[in-house]
A = this chain, B = another copy of it.
Amino acid sequence: MSKKQATIQDIARELKITASTVSRALNDHPKISKKTKDKVWKTAHELNYQPNTVASNLRKGKGNTVGMIVPRINRHFFSNVITGVESVLNPAGYNLIICQSEEKYQKEVENVETLISNRVSGILISLSIETLNTKHLQKIINSQIPLVMFDRTESKLNISQVVNDDEAGAYEMTCHLLEQGYRDIMWMGGPRTSSIYHNRYLGYKRALEEYKVPIEKMHCFEGPSTLVAALEYMRIFLKNNKLPDVVFATSDYMAMGTIQALQEAGLQVPKDVAVAGYSNEPFAALIDPKLTTIEQFSEEMGRATARLLLDQLLSETDEPVPRKIIIKPKLIIRETTRKRKKSNTFIKK
């Protein structure tokens, strides 16, 4: 139909008024008469006018888009954080542009540059597993763009952040395992260069120390936080080592891989070896036996992160004081860590 998008000028020409009046009318400026507003609205509609946000943003020197960088979108945890973020940003009039770093440092740097170039109003980021330095974050700060980190953060930078209390989560889980009577507790997780796995290890360690269980004897596996990595590692491990009482996998996917390896080896969970996970992925409650794990309240994390950003966006002070919000995770005890043997067949009512 329309060859070119209609502009404010087209409306002005049509109505024999000036572009400024049209602009003000469209923005419901109080000094424009009801009559012209109505006319403007009418012809805007007739001409199929769609405001040009990019022109508007350029002129105003700001926009309403915030950028969000996550390692992967298809992790339950992150997609829920995103949902939480949108639930507070959208009502506040902001749109979200989502970028995936795919756990690559290089990609993360590129994402940052794109967002800066697009002059987003703010940036939310959870660091990739590879990210060890923070030059790119410094760029954001230099560009005066409000920044909030979440989940996988870098504490050296003095930036607002919201994190899970991974130390506490791992501590609670380990205590639970110890109370069940397990002593030989194998730890498994992603690279401890990442804050989350580092802290999940610390919590584990603290619990062991409290219970005076020597940590030196424990087996640990640090590798990619995936089902197959755990599966392959455990296949070999089970051939060469004596069985631990329980495997504490600090990721549900690794827990799943562990369970599969145990099953392949003809072992029963939790009778022969117990297993615990972390994150409460949707499948955790669906598998049999049901997986004991840690709930992270990911949506709440998203909301908190977004609120922290909004604070910075709304307060006009140049140097807002950085805040840190810590979300307490919750231990969810299900079947894979039950001390007493239980039937693995379907429950009869």
Contact = CB atoms under 8 A, between A and B. Distances in A.
A98 B98 CA distance: 6
13 contacts: A1-B142, A50-B116, A54-B54, A65-B97, A96-B98, A96-B99, A264-B349, A282-B283, A283-B287, A286-B286, A287-B287, A344-B345, A345-B345
**Copy total for this chain:** 2
Given A74-B76, A269-B346, 8 more contacts: A50-B139, A51-B117, A52-B119, A96-B98, A96-B99, A97-B98, A263-B347, A288-B288
A58 interface: yes
Contact of A113 (B5, B50, B74, B96): B50
Contacts of A57: 54
Interface of A: 1-2, 4-5, 48, 50-55, 57-58, 63, 65, 72-74, 76, 79-80, 82-83, 86, 95-100, 113-114, 116-119, 139, 142-144, 256, 263-266, 268-269, 282-283, 286-288, 344-349
A57 B56 CA distance: 12
* From A72, A116, A282, residue with most partner B Cβ within 10 Å: A282
Given A286-B256, A344-B344, A2 B142 contact: yes
Contact of A287 (B55, B100, B286, B347): B286
A288 to B, nearest CB: 4
Given A58-B55, A76-B74, A48 B142 contact: yes
B54 A63 contact: yes
Contacts of A265: 349
